[in-house]
């Protein structure tokens, strides 16, 4: 029997990386101000390391994803797969041409378009959907801050998150 609400546990799991990064920075500050010699220098090096960890975790926490929604998402060896109660499929990251977020649906739905295949629709709250952040960040030219700003922006229309750059010769 847990004395902590499930929503609180979910929030703590989502933001724990930010807390860990801040804790590493504070530990480095403590060593930097209070220790001597090599430990003091190690402390000064831990401060920026912790801040970088906190920033990366903050971006991932803002992405959200994963929850109690329908279906399961896995990202493995360059493939995104989603299997839900009514649809599913696999998309190879190297073949994806367009990623959009349909904000008109509840929950919001990721649409991954691959030439020659039917689009793969993934609910934002599907189990394991947080792994999409790492998959999307690996795409060439994707702006993480732009994606996160689009996620946070109000609106109910579909939004293009990323499109593969075309390499046409004139």
User: What's the pLDDT score for residue 12?
Assistant: 84
Domain segments of the chain as ranges: 6-63, 72-163
- For the stretch 106-164, pLDDT in tens is 889 999 999 999 999 999 989 998 899 999 998 998 998 989 988 888 888 889 999 98
Question: Exposed, middle or buried by CB within 10 Å (0-12, 13-18, 19+), for 107?
Answer: middle
Mark out the alpha helices in the chain (DSSP H runs): 6-34, 38-63, 131-137, 144-152
Per residue in 8-50, pLDDT (tens digit) is 887 788 899 999 999 999 999 999 999 999 999 999 999 999 9
Query: pTM of whole model > 0.85?
Result: no
Q: What is the pLDDT of residues 51-103, one digit of tens each?
A: 999 999 999 888 876 677 889 999 999 999 999 988 889 999 999 999 999 98
Q: Please give the order of strands across the beta sheet that includes 88-92.
A: 72-76, 79-83, 88-92
| Residue 167: predicted pLDDT | 57
């Amino acid at each position: 029997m847990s004395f902590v609400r499930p929503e609180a546990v979910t929030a703590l799991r989502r933001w724990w990386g930010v807390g860990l990064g801040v804790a590493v920075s504070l530990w480095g500050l403590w060593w930097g101000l209070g220790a001597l010699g090599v430990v003091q220098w190690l402390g000064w090096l831990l401060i920026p390391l912790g801040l970088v960890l906190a920033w990366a975790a903050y971006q991932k926490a803002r992405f959200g994803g994963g929850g109690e929604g329908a279906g399961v998402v896995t990202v493995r060896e360059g493939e995104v797969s989603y299997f839900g109660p009514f649809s599913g499929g696999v998309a190879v990251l190297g073949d994806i041409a367009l990623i959009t977020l349909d904000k008109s649906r509840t929950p919001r739905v990721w649409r991954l378009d691959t030439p020659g295949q039917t689009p793969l629709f993934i609910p934002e709250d599907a189990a394991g959907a947080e792994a999409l952040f790492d998959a999307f960040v690996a795409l060439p030219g994707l702006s993480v801050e732009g994606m996160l700003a689009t996620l946070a922006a109000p609106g109910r229309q579909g939004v293009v998150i990323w499109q593969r750059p075309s390499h046409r010769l004139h």
